[in-house]
Amino acid sequence: MQNFANDAQTIYLFQLEKLKVTSCEQLVAIAELPSSLKLLLADSCKSLQVIPKLSYLSQLQVLSLAKCEQLVALPELHSSLKYLNAYGYKSLQMMPKLSHLSQLEKFKVTSCEQL
């Protein structure tokens, strides 16, 4: 699996609230996500390089990304986010602006060697 819900393959998940992607080592990109999403968890997706723009996800409250070693930057985020966790990124060089995240309650960034 190189792409999750790529442009050629439309998935209608209008009510999806939680997406957990774990240990998908060949996954390179996650395409646009439904606006109903409240939780996005990606863990141990070692080839993941692209996460879509998340600033339109007004329901997203939890974003947890761990050990996605090829990811260089996190996308812009919606102000509704309450929890942001980034852990174990060998290549992460850029974080999005956080000043507008007025609802943020917990922010955890660890083991990001390039930051």
Overall number of domains in the chain: 1
Tokens of 16: 């999806």
E strands along the chain, which residues? 3-4, 18-22, 29-30, 39-43, 62-66, 83-89, 106-112
Tokens of 115: 């930051």
pTM (2 d.p.): 0.81
What type of residue is 54?
Answer: L
- State the Cα–Cα distance between residues 47 and 89, nearest whole angstrom: 11
Averaged pLDDT, 71-96: 82
How high is the pLDDT of residue 9? Answer: 43
Q: Residue 87: is its pLDDT beyond 60? A: yes
pLDDT tens-digit readout, 15-43: 889 999 999 989 999 888 889 999 999 99
**pLDDT band, very low/low/confident/very high, at 11 (cuts 50, 70, 90):** low
- State the Cα–Cα distance between residues 89 and 15, nearest whole angstrom: 30
Tell me the residue range of the domain where 53 lies: 1-115
Averaged pLDDT, 88-110: 79
